Structures are given as structure tokens and as C-alpha cells.
């Protein structure tokens, strides 16, 4: 059994994945009160860990260090990415602290806990040219602490999640001679048969959310019928967005210039295809919408993120959406943590 310390835990998506991969969650650190309460409500789903509902800067990770194999997992808030001037090494080779940027706190946790390995998770834009220097400095510091690092750009749909969601993972293994290999996808896009290579086809959302279609799960917030773009929404074909309106024959509603709106504007799910990325704070006409021309229900959003059916969320509707949207899909977390454990 490998112990696991989770930081920036959020609603616990990566934690659930770690448990399913065979790790034992011993501690979670999460400063947001609603997300911390969500973790408490689901203790049995994440091994009944000690929950530190405090600012991570107040946590002494040396107190969690043991002689047993341990991994550290987490996705720190890392804004502003482009402020590279804040990254200065001190005598301990750690990055100077900026309260707006928690990468330094992740490295401090690594330094104090001295885990056998770690998983650092973040948004794909951390590799953008305006942010890459910050990210590369993180790798330099992690390696200086004794960890061989592997960078992997993942799409959750490639691992059976019913959602196209791109994230960056760094696998760190202590005292490894060479970086571990990247994970191997298990699923592929059937629209690109030349790239399937024996993979299973992407998983559609229908199998995950159809059970929540009855009126028993109806929510007041799902009704979009009184909105400005409801007529347009009803004409968007499943699996498409606003761009499809300009190609419909006999359609007499508003049309929009291609590129004039964000790509997820009026995007509608197709039951046999993965969802687009679930947003933490979507605008009123940001998809995905259900193919029944309504907004998604909480259990549907959670299912697309592959949370267990029994998982509970604390807070108002906006808070719950934010918690779910910020989470790592549990199934993706399971695949990533299992890959790390394999090479410890």
C-alpha cells in the first residue's frame, strides 16, 4: 500500500482516482470551505483522511513524513503564470514565494514531505509560450530536490473519460535514474481511424448521464427556455455549436460569424460522443447543453467528471459547479496515479 497526501484537493477528483488506483489517502489540504466540506461528506470515498481546511502555507509537511512509501498529488493555482520575475531560488533551492502563485508551495511540500513520487497537475496553458519559463523553472527546482520528472499532456477522453479535457501532468520519482515513460492511452477518436492503433473508441456521455434524464432529477436552473438564445439552441444539432446554424436549410433564426463567438457557445452534447470540457464558471450560454435543450443537472456534470454516483457536494449551485468543473476527472486521476505507482 502506498500512502498519499493530497494538496489543493478541491472536491477530491484526483483523490478518488488515487484511492481507486490503490493508494491510501492519509491527508488532504484544501482552503476553500465548501470544497473542504465536500471532502468531509465523502470521507468513505477517499479513505477517511485527515482534512486540513487551512491555508497551505500554514501546513508543516514534515509532520506527515513517514518511512512508508508515499506520494504527493495536487494541482496548485499558478497565477500569474507570466510573472517570471518572482521565481528566484533561495539557499534551499526553492522558489521565492509569491502569494498569488502556489507552485512554490507545491515544491515546499515536496521538500518537507520527501515523498517517493509526486503528481503535479495543471491546465494545458501552463505550456503556453507566455508561461513556459515558469513551468520550466518548476521542473528545474523539482529535479534539484532529487526527482526525475516526466511531462505528459493528457486528454481525458484518451483514457475512457466521456469528456475531452486537456491537462498537463508531471510525474516525479525520487532518486530515479531516468524519467519514467509517459502513460499509454487506451481510447482513441473513431473519426481518425488511422490513429486508433487498436484503441477502444472514445466513450460517449449517454451511457454516463442517461440515468439522470427523468423528472426526479429536474433542477430549476436547467430551464433555458426564457433566455435570449433558446430558439437558436433548439436548432443546434447534437454534437455541434453555434457555427452549425449558418449551414442549416430552412433555419430562420440568428446566425453568427464563424470565430465571432467562443467555440463552446451553444454547444450541445451528442450522446454517443465525449463532452467538451466542463467549465468551472460557465457563462449563461456556454455549453455543453443537454441534447434536450436544457442546461446540465448537477449529477450529470459530476458523472461526466466520473465522480462516483454516491458522491455528495456541499454549497450552492454556483459553488458546486465550480468544484466539479475544477476537478480532475476521477477516472483520469486513477490512470495517472496507477502509472506513477507502477514506477516507484
Domains of the chain in sequence order = 2-188+327-342 (3.40.50.150), 206-311 (no CATH)
HEC profile of 91-134: CCCCECCECCECHHHHHHHHHHHCCCEEEEEEEHHHHCCCCHHH
Residue 1: CB atoms within 10 Å: 8
Cell digits of residue 7 = 494538496
- Band (pLDDT 50/70/90 cuts) for residue 78 is low
3 state DSSP class of 50 = strand
Residue 30: its pLDDT value, please?
Answer: 98
Among all residues, which ones are annotated catalytic? 78
Residue 194: its pLDDT value, please?
Answer: 86
Residue 101: its pLDDT value, please?
Answer: 72
Contact 241, 267 (CB under 8 A): yes
3 state DSSP class of 244 = helix
3 state DSSP class of 163 = strand
- Answering whether pTM is above 0.95, one says no
Whether residue 86 has pLDDT greater than 50: no
User: Counting Cβ atoms within 10 Å, is residue 208 exposed (0-12), middle (13-18) or buried (19+)?
Assistant: buried
Nearest in space to 337 (alpha carbons), one of 42, 11, 20, 114: 20
What is the bridge-based pairing of β-strands 289-290 and 50-52?
unpaired
Whether residue 95 has pLDDT greater than 70: no
Mark out the alpha helices in the chain (DSSP H runs). Answer: 13-20, 33-41, 103-113, 132-144, 206-209, 230-235, 298-304, 317-326, 330-342
Is the link from the previous residue into 80 a cis peptide, with omega within 30 of 0?
Answer: yes
122-169: pLDDT as tens digits? 999 999 888 888 899 999 999 999 999 999 999 999 999 999 999 999
Residue 144: CB atoms within 10 Å: 14
For 300, left (φ over 0), alpha (ψ -120 to 50), or beta? alpha
Residue 99: its pLDDT value, please?
Answer: 57
Report how far apart, in Å, the C-alpha atoms of 333 and of each of 14, 58, 74, 191, 258 are.
5, 26, 10, 25, 35
Q: Partners of 195 in the beta sheet? A: none
Whether residue 91 has pLDDT greater than 70: no
Between CA 259 and CA 284 the distance in angstroms is 19
Mean pLDDT, range 17-40, rounded to an integer: 98
- Band (pLDDT 50/70/90 cuts) for residue 50 is very high
Whether residue 87 has pLDDT greater than 50: no
Amino acid at each position: 500500500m502506498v500512502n498519499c497526501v493530497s494538496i489543493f484537493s478541491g472536491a477530491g477528483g484526483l483523490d478518488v482516482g488515487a484511492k481507486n488506483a490503490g493508494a491510501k489517502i492519509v491527508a488532504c489540504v484544501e482552503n476553500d470551505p465548501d470544497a473542504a466540506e465536500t471532502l468531509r461528506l465523502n470521507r468513505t470515498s477517499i479513505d477517511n483522511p485527515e482534512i486540513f481546511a487551512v491555508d497551505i502555507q500554514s501546513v508543516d509537511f514534515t509532520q506527515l513524513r513517514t518511512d512508508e512509501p508515499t506520494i504527493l498529488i495536487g494541482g496548485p493555482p499558478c497565477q500569474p503564470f507570466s510573472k517570471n520575475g518572482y521565481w528566484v531560488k533561495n539557499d534551499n533551492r526553492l522558489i521565492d514565494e509569491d502569494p498569488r502563485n502556489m507552485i512554490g508551495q507545491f515544491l515546499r511540500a515536496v521538500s518537507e514531505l520527501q515523498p517517493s513520487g509526486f503528481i503535479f497537475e495543471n491546465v494545458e496553458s501552463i505550456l503556453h509560450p507566455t508561461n513556459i519559463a515558469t513551468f520550466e523553472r518548476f521542473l528545474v527546482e523539482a529535479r534539484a530536490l532529487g526527482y526525475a520528472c516526466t511531462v505528459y499532456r493528457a486528454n481525458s477522453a484518451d483514457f475512457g473519460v466521456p469528456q475531452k479535457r486537456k491537462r498537463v501532468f508531471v510525474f516525479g520519482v525520487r532518486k530515479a535514474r531516468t524519467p519514467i515513460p509517459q502513460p499509454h492511452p487506451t481510447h482513441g477518436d473513431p473519426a481518425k481511424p488511422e490513429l486508433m492503433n487498436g484503441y477502444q473508441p472514445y466513450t460517449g456521455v449517454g451511457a454516463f448521464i442517461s440515468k439522470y434524464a427523468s423528472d426526479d432529477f429536474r433542477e430549476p436552473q436547467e430551464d433555458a427556455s426564457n433566455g435570449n438564445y433558446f430558439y437558436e439552441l433548439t436548432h443546434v444539432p447534437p454534437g455541434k455549436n453555434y457555427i452549425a446554424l449558418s449551414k442549416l436549410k430552412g433555419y430562420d433564426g440568428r446566425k453568427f460569424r464563424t470565430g465571432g463567438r467562443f467555440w463552446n457557445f451553444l454547444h450541445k452534447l451528442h450522446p454517443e460522443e465525449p463532452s467538451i470540457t466542463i467549465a468551472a464558471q460557465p457563462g449563461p450560454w456556454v455549453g455543453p447543453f443537454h441534447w434536450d435543450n436544457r442546461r446540465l443537472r448537477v449529477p450529470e456534470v459530476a458523472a461526466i467528471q466520473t465522480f462516483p454516483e454516491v458522491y455528495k457536494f456541499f454549497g450552492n449551485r454556483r459553488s458546486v459547479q465550480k468544484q466539479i468543473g475544477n476537478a480532475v476527472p476521477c477516472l483520469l486521476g486513477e490512470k495517472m496515479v496507477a502509472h506513477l505507482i507502477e514506477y516507484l
